[in-house]
Amino acid sequence: MMQQKLLIFGLNHQSAPVAIRERLAYAENEIVPALLRLRQQAPSLAEVALLSTCNRVEIIGAGADSMRAAEESLLFLADDRAIAAETFRPALFHLEGRAAARHLFRVGASLDSMVVGEPQILGQVKAAYAQAAEAGTAGLVLHRAFHKAFSVAKHVRKTTLIGHGAVSLSSAAVSLAGKIFDTLGDKTVMLMGAGRMAELTARSLKRLGIETLLITSRTFDNAVALARELGGTAVPYDNFKPYLRMADVVIGSLAVSQPVLGPAEFEIIVKERRYRPTFLIDLGVPRNFDERLNSLENVYLYDIDDLGKVALESRDEREREALRAEPLIELEVDSFMRWLEGLELVPAIKDIRSSIEQLRAGELERHRAWLAGLAPGERARIELMTRSLVNKLLHRVLSGLRDSQNAAAERAYTAAVARRLLCRELNLDDPDTGHNSEDGAFSDALDETGEKEVRAGISMSARRRK
């Protein structure tokens, strides 16, 4: 069986513009059904999760054939989102092994975010894992990888100042609104959406002194609850457009598949406002506002990519802290890769344990007559002693296999030697060859060149340990 590798295929704000990202994005309630379809259409992925945020769409999986899995993932996204594969193929990245683990850990720790240090991404990564668990598409590798990502993120925030002064995209939106006007106290802001990002935006606006806050949401009760808490006014979603003439700033954070505002209808609002400036800040992916609104007189539209540019002004300090976090990431990548590479030893470890246990049981059977003359308590002590001896012997042998500093070759070679020697000792069939080890298969299986390379690696490991 080929070794399972951690694999990531996707695109993000660094590789693709929002015009591409929004066409591939998934709403939260679409993720689990999409995972089930992906599992069917990408059989090379033994495990799979899907991370879809404003800034990234990434398929995180485990499989042995990375190239085939990459092509299956590409074709799945193209088919599932009804977009030609060649439209986004150049923006798609393909990571495996160490690079994939490093990427996942950096994403969870907010080192790969548009706004470095923003706190929302960890919750989004946790949600992606929970959805994969719900869909039944997460297995041993993804369970370990995601939980490692969570602990890495916590460790980075605890040991660095990466969250100090960091702003999320919602905070960047508020910062932009503050730059647009000298004061927000006499301005009216309409917030479209009452989810987590909308809530963070509204709280930040209140801290800047905004007094007139209109909140609309497709779930009116959510708008009412947020408005009551923040001293705003809830507006029914099916009747929000007449209120736009009052708004100096409109912030969109709705989860929609198509823009809710277009140039034709908004041109009427511009005239009703007597061409007073209107600033539209679009936090949505897919976008809430048609990009053609920017062509209207005195209408200024900023989308999520523009917000990333706003955040650059306060980026230097967070970037310095991010550099401090990178060595922490590498240590955890090393730890994860040792664990992942150790999975290939599981069959050998089981065989070795079983073989030694057979030796122990055989020796006790050989001395059964003598043992029968002992008191029950003495027989129990001998049983305990032999089991303890086996466990201690196994611990030393297996620890050496797991902790080997020379990658997979040394471990695989050492495991094969131990397993076949034990099979020969017990006169059993070798689980790899199906032949008895006495018939010469053992010696024939040791390729001379490979043996020399492995022994050289063992020698180097021994020198390092000295």
Q: How far apart are CA 346 and CA 339, in angstroms?
A: 11
* Cβ atoms of 130 and 83 closer than 8 Å: no
Backbone angles phi, psi at 452, to 5 degrees: -65, -40
Q: Quote the tokens at residue 391.
A: 């466990």
* Cβ atoms of 142 and 49 closer than 8 Å: yes
Q: Which residues of 137-163 are buried (b: 16+ CB within 10 A; e: fewer)?
A: bbbebbebbbebbbebbebbbeebebb
- Residue type at 17 in one-letter notation: P
Q: How far apart are CA 159 and CA 153, in angstroms?
A: 10
Angle (deg, nearest 10), helices 196-207 and 120-135 = 170
List alpha helices for 367-432, DSSP H. 368-372, 376-403, 408-426
Residues in the chain: 466
From 8, 16, 49, 54, active-site residue: 54
Q: How far apart are CA 150 and CA 450, in angstroms?
A: 39
Handedness of CA 367, 369, 373, 374 (dihedral sign): positive
Which residues are bridge partners to 95 per DSSP?
A: 8
Strands 56-63 and 5-12: antiparallel
- Residue type at 295 in one-letter notation: S
Which of 71, 96, 55 shows the shortest CA–CA distance to 307?
A: 55
Backbone angles phi, psi at 279, to 5 degrees: -110, 125
* Distance in Å from the first CA to the final CA of the chain: 35
For tokens 């800034």, what's the residue? 55
Residue 95 CB coordination number (10 Å): 20
Query: Is 423 known to be catalytic?
Result: no
Which of 341, 346, 331 shows the shortest CA–CA distance to 6?
A: 341
Using DSSP, state whether 219 is helix, strand or coil: coil
DSSP state of 89: G
Asked if residue 90 has a cis previous peptide bond (ω within 30° of 0), the answer is: no
* Cβ atoms of 24 and 257 closer than 8 Å: no
Residue numbers annotated as active site: 54
